[in-house]
Amino acid sequence: MSNEMVVIPEYREESQFLPVMAVQQAVGMYKQFNEFVKSALRTGVDVATIPGCAKPSLMKAGAEKLSKFFGLSPSFEMVSKIEDWTGGEHGGIPLFSYTYRCTLYRNGVAMGMCEGSCNTWEDKFRYRNAERVCPACGQSTIIKGKKEFGGGWVCYQRKGGCGAKFDDNDASIINQEVGKVINMEPFTLVNTVQKQAQKRAFVGAVLIAVNASDYFTQDMEDMNDGEDHEQSPPVVVTPKPKAKEEKEVTPADVISAYAKYGVTVEQLDNYIGRPSSEWQTPEINVLREVYKQIKNGKKTVDETFGEQAEEEEAL
């Protein structure tokens, strides 16, 4: 056994509350993150704007880009599951529910963690839109026939149907259940529900790990289809007043304004290097900026055009 003395560092309580990086480092990191968001994330692909939400929603593609940017690797762990194939434990309706935990690692160190769940009783999975099916060919191509052509029901050929016709009161048609009905085959969605739970966990973990909550909210691309979010009163968005439309400035406007300073068209043409009939928007903007500088006393007409004139209204 070694007789060497082990020196234990003195415990200093205040050190537990000190930042882990200098202010300049934190500001630099924030600037880099801001630049990445503006340059690399695309609306509609990486982020989505949800009506009524103050922040854009981070989608899976955007979360993947952020995790790559920060060098994060995800690891998934199933926390719980329910697999009732027959519905015997849930009133005759099959139920599949999964909860996953996503942990993001960087160089073996856990940087963020979040759980996400999904189940087949969410509206988008529990229900399906049932359409009338043709008894003859089995296709969902039944439409109501026009009165001028005898009415009844028709298996519409242009939609892939067989062309069969049925009477208005044909029981094989009118007794079919249509509209929003319970999906009695949710077991076909097992893989989809698991992937959705993993995605929710992953996006949540990325938001936590990279401190992105200032920019984004949790992925809500399928919120309107019944995601498991708490119900809240609808958000009333007050439309912003329309900004006053800025009048398009023409070469004639520029010439008229400068004329009040005694500047001639020839002088303006010489200054730009092109006749006023050929001026483009960038050239007009240059003249407007010079005009403002003259009006604010930062330049004089003599310095710019070689003549002194009386100051009047600006553009």
On whether residue 210 sits in a domain, the answer given is yes
Together in a domain, 93 and 64: yes
Together in a domain, 140 and 173: yes
Residue type, 288: R
Average pLDDT of span 150-154: 89
Together in a domain, 26 and 64: yes
Together in a domain, 112 and 207: yes
Q: How far apart are CA 31 and CA 24, in angstroms?
A: 11
Give the pLDDT score at 200: 94
Write down the residue that tokens 């050190």 correspond to.
Answer: 15
Rounded to the nearest integer, the mean pLDDT of the chain is 80
Give the pLDDT score at 116: 94
Together in a domain, 193 and 59: yes
**What confidence tier does 152 reach under pLDDT thresholds 50, 70, 90?**
very high
Residue-wise burial string across 96-127, b where 16 or more C-beta atoms lie within 10 A, e elsewhere: bbbbbbbbbbeeeeebbbbbbbbbbbbebbbb
Domain of residue 166 covers 132-177
What pTM value is reported for the model?
Answer: 0.56
Together in a domain, 295 and 173: no
Reported as a single tens digit per residue, the pLDDT across 265-312 is: 888 877 777 788 777 777 788 888 888 888 887 778 777 776 444 444
On whether residue 4 sits in a domain, the answer given is no
Together in a domain, 28 and 95: yes
On whether residue 30 sits in a domain, the answer given is yes
On whether residue 231 sits in a domain, the answer given is no
Per-residue pLDDT at 232 exceeds 60: no
Average pLDDT of span 68-84: 94
Residue that is last in its domain, among 151, 177, 203: 177
How many domains does one find in the chain?
Answer: 3
Phi, psi of 127 (to 5 degrees): -115, 155
Q: How far apart are CA 36 and CA 121, in angstroms?
A: 38
Q: How far apart are CA 34 and CA 29, in angstroms?
A: 9
The two three-digit tokens of residue 232, written as one number: 């809240």
